[in-house]
Amino acid sequence: MPAVDTSALPDPRVCEQARLSRDARFDGLFFTAVTSTRIYCRPVCPAPAPKPTNIVYYRHAAAAEAAGFRPCLRCRPELAPGDGAWRRGDDVVARALKMIDQGALVDAPLADLAGKVGLGERQLRRLFSERLGATPNEVHGTRRLLFAKQLLTETTLPITQVALASGFGSLTRFNTAFREEYRMAPRELRKRDVPPAHDGVTLRLGYRPPYDLAAMLDFLRGRALPGVEVVDERSYRRVIGTADAPGWLRVSAWGGDAHALRLELHGAAPAQLLGIVHRLRRMFDLDADPHVIAQALGDDARLRPLLEARPGLRLPSGWDGFEIAVRAVIGQQVSVAAARTLTARLAQRHGTPLALGAEGLTHLFPTPDRLVDVDLTEIGLTRARADTIRGLSRALLEGRVDFLPERTLEDFTSRWVALPGIGPWTAHYMALRALGHPDAFPADDLVLQKAVPTDGVRMTAKALTARAEAWRPWRAYAVIHVWKGSMPPPKSLKAVGAT
């Protein structure tokens, strides 16, 4: 059995206490492998607790699988939230993990991934082994198989489609990999409880509590685009896909005492499922560790009461980078309501009309090629804003800017501020909402400059940046807390975005 890198794990006494108490705060932060059964579990597993002498702890599911353990069928490790410590910020492992999540190793060798984060292949493999206990390829393989296990357990998709959805090019390779890793054929999972068939796919998206879904929906509701999104006090719905293959989704609470969101998908092709899940995990910030963030920010007297009032507040990201970029430009120096009105007008006039049969969802947001040459002053934009949107559309099409996960925050923002009409506020707002970057910090934001100081004096961007240095690498969470703390309570909980 390979040696376990215990330095990357929580203290073994903490692991033991969390395992025995089934503490959901540690879900996904480590996995419990049982040597007598060769099965590994989440710390919240409802099965009777094994003897401590039969327990080995692993930091990552891939490390447990590389050591020959298979996932538990009761607690289902595929439902565990990701470890936010390794998926955040500009750390090499964080960026590499985000690229793996986006399929970087599906059709490309490890050397390409290593090159994109500025390391050699051997260096990256060593770094993963030291910190996670598994190589990048093992992390990639475990990710695919666990997603396949979730689809086999929660859906009635044919096994051929499950193989395609989890990134396998052939059914034979999928069957072989599944049998070798889990010591059972994929069809054997179908002998267990299978949900009734319906016209879509329903999946569970786990998170680490606490999670403030009401605050997340409130933020998204205030910015919902009619025809593209519908947001009420219980759920978020939007159109997805392309004009040739449109679909829609709904995200809501799972219900009961489950620490999970419910994803309902309609019209999505199997090959899109893993990417959609990845987007939504980023959009709803499901892999964050709120306790680590609170510990880092809680020493600040201005932030402490905000953290105590909203312990489950997360970063509300967006579905599409280009859509967020357009929203950010339109929102420069205008209110949220005014920006929403103008952006909705743009989506209605230049987006693709659809006939989905889903109430309130009628348009796809326009793509860069649709906006690169149109006159946007007709929707009420100033000439400068219209020119900026056309310019960023062209820059995206030409590859001068992008939303690639290998970018550091400095690299991402410097590329965007090089474009006419894009300043630091816009670039950092895009990093926060398009990338979900935890350290994005729009220091020129008027609300922040007025709300952070307690003496009634507006701070300069320079002074605010200096003050926020102690908040790194979680400055974006401080931003969300200050924004939320500065907002009046919502006047209505009616759906926004419905036509």
Known catalytic residues are 41, 445
- CA–CA separation, 229 and 242 (whole Å): 15
- CA–CA separation, 170 and 173 (whole Å): 5
**CB 241 within 8 Å of CB 233:** no
Residues contacting 40, CB < 8 A, separation 6+: 31, 32, 33, 34, 58, 61, 64, 65, 69, 70, 71, 72, 77
**CB 405 within 8 Å of CB 412:** no
Nearest to 289 by CA among 85, 12, 438, 79: 85
CA atoms within 13 Å, Cβ hemisphere of 62: 21
- CA–CA separation, 9 and 16 (whole Å): 12
- CA–CA separation, 480 and 438 (whole Å): 10
- CA–CA separation, 100 and 60 (whole Å): 14
User: Omega into 473 within 30° of 0, i.e. cis?
Assistant: yes
- CA–CA separation, 345 and 429 (whole Å): 21
Q: Is 492 helix (H, G, I), strand (E, B) or coil?
A: coil
Where does 183-239 have alpha helices with state H? 186-189, 213-221
DSSP state of 210: P
**CB 92 within 8 Å of CB 124:** yes
**CB 482 within 8 Å of CB 467:** no
Helix (H), strand (E), coil (C) string for 87-110: CCCCCHHHHHHHHHHCCCCCCCCH
356, two tokens: 């989905």
Beta strand 39-41 pairing with 70-71 = parallel
- CA–CA separation, 264 and 240 (whole Å): 12
Count other C-beta atoms under 10 Å from residue 229's C-beta: 25
**Across-strand partners of 40?**
33, 71
**CB 421 within 8 Å of CB 415:** no
**CB 313 within 8 Å of CB 212:** yes
**CB 79 within 8 Å of CB 147:** no
User: Omega into 210 within 30° of 0, i.e. cis?
Assistant: yes
